[in-house]
């Protein structure tokens, strides 16, 4: 009888563990150098580290991980308009582009898969994930302070008490339109309205692009001081930026932060990329059904 109890206990523990792994729509995020990761099941393969992203046009993966996690016969090969993908400080050659469905815990991604040469991560645009377990729980709630990511229903959250960005688009990337206020150490101030990518892969509160002519004029006309920027983790010089005594996007404010600047990247007519460190004190909810991002 005791053996039966032990066996039942072991089986129970196994079932609980299996549920935690295979019935997964909520995750604990791990933070590393300003970026967030989750550990989950991808296409039935356990314990895969996934880079939490939203500023990319599809799933990004290197060739080795693609070969181990994907069955090539299940995916359609498609032509790419581009030979490489560019980030602010790096560029990766596109080996091939495929299209199909990818299972991530109890969620799924349906779209393009970019196999990149020498790319170090497996990055998934989480705003494009669908809840396979319960389609009514389709709002994505982040708490960057507690490092949680979960899919919830509208009965769980009270968005009427939160601030709101309206999304002008969310596929392939979530883009919001908002006012942007900036002040620097010299007392220069400015206010502009424009579109920004909500970029979960951005480790800074805001990264702006001078390839947008309105943003370039905004910086020049307000005489903001541009300084050399260093990586906060390595100390390496990585570009240029503005030290902002105040940075406000909509109702969300950050003080005494560095705002990165680049003339190498741009997406449509957007002015920059908002990162999760702007929202380090409360919940952020992506609601693709109502084209909104709610924040505290």
Beta bridge partners of 215: none
pLDDT of residue 239: 80
Question: What's the predicted TM-score (pTM) here?
Answer: 0.89
Handedness of CA 7, 10, 12, 14 (dihedral sign): negative
| Chain segment 32-46, per-residue pLDDT in tens | 999 999 999 999 999
Phi, psi for 173 (deg, rounded to 5): -130, 150
Structure tokens that stand for 102 in this block: 């990818």
Average predicted confidence (pLDDT) for the chain:
91
Q: Is the pLDDT of residue 202 over 90?
A: yes
| pLDDT tens sequence across 52-98 | 999 999 999 999 999 999 999 999 999 998 999 988 778 999 999 99
Q: How far lies 140's CA from each of 77, 128, 160, 169, 175, in Å?
A: 30, 10, 16, 16, 16
All structural domains of the chain: 25-152 (2.40.70.10), 159-295 (2.40.70.10)
Q: What angle do CA 284, 49, 23 make, to 5 degrees?
A: 70
Tokens matching residue 6: 């032990």
Residue 186 near residue 245, CB atoms below 8 Å: no
């Amino acid at each position: 009888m005791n053996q039966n109890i032990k066996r039942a206990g072991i089986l129970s523990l196994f079932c609980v563990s299996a549920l935690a792994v295979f019935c997964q729509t909520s995750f604990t995020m791990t933070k590393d150098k300003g970026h967030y990761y989750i550990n989950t099941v991808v296409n039935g393969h356990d314990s895969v580290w996934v880079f939490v992203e939203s500023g990319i046009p599809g799933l990004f993966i290197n060739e080795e991980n693609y070969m181990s996690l994907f069955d090539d016969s299940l995916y359609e090969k498609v032509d790419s308009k581009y030979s490489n993908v560019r980030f602010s400080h790096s560029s990766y050659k596109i080996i091939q582009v495929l299209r199909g469905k990818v299972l991530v815990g109890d969620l799924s991604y349906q779209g393009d898969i970019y196999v990149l040469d020498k790319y170090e991560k497996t990055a998934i645009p989480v705003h494009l994930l669908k809840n396979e377990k319960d389609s009514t729980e389709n709002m994505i709630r982040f708490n960057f302070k507690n490092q949680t990511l979960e899919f919830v229903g509208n009965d769980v959250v009270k968005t009427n008490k939160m601030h709101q960005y309206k999304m002008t688009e969310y596929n392939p990337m979530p883009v919001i339109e908002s006012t942007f206020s900036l002040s620097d150490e010299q007392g220069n101030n400015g206010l502009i309205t424009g579109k920004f990518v909500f970029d979960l892969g951005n480790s800074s509160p805001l990264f702006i692009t001078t390839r947008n002519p309105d943003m370039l004029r905004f910086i020049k006309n307000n005489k903001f001081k541009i300084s050399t920027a260093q990586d906060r983790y390595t100390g390496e010089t990585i570009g240029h930026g503005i030290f902002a005594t105040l940075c406000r996007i909509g109702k969300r404010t950050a003080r005494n932060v560095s705002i990165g600047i680049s003339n190498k990247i741009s997406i449509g007519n957007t002015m920059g990329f908002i990162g999760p460190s702007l929202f380090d004190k409360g919940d952020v909810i992506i609601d693709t059904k109502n084209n909104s991002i709610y924040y505290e």
